[in-house]
Amino acid sequence: MMRLELELEGHTVQFLSVNTPSGLETQASLVEKCSYPLFQDLEEVDLWGLMNGGKDDFYIYDADGTLARYYAWGTEPALNLSTEEGYAALKDGILGVMAGAPRATRATDVIEDGGPQDAEGDAGEPGPEPDLDAEPEGEVLPGDEVPEDAGPEAG
């Protein structure tokens, strides 16, 4: 919905999502609902771990593929997309990156406190910050490449 909204406003964006390794059995139902690419993480790949991320985290990339914003679940701004505030905060983050807002050099440049929520929904201890300057690790599987002309992405 947000992708379409942004496109109707004249912005070119791409979204993708990475499903948790434990969610393999629910992948088919997600594919039916998603209008954007859904990648399946596997325990042996551990993409979430490689990105120092977790469930419901958001990463926004510049048009050149550089990570510009990282929002960890359970931190401010709260990005629960089921609320108007969360939806607006993510959209504002995407638009800010597209407008050339300064890039974050650390997660704490964007998020001041908190960390991923645990299974009960309670905020846990802050996890390690993603290294926004690190080269990606791990194997890239055929079809996983992001086009070089990709716009800002969230997922």
Which tens digit of pLDDT belongs to each residue from 112-138? Answer: 333 333 333 333 344 445 454 554 444
How many separate domains does the chain show? 1
Report the half-sphere exposure of 108 (CA within 13 A, side-chain side). Answer: 7
In what order do the strands lie in the sheet containing 58-61? 14-15, 153-154, 58-61, 67-71
Write the pLDDT tens digit of every residue in 77-92. Answer: 788 888 999 999 999 9
Give the pLDDT band of residue 1 (cuts 50, 70, 90).
Answer: confident
The amino acid at 66: T
Residue where the block lists tokens 């990709």: 150
Q: What distance in Å separates the CA atoms of residue 83 and residue 131, rounded to the nearest whole number? A: 29
Q: Residue 28: which domain range?
A: 2-154
Which structure tokens are listed for 110? 């964007």
Which structure tokens are listed for 104? 């974050």
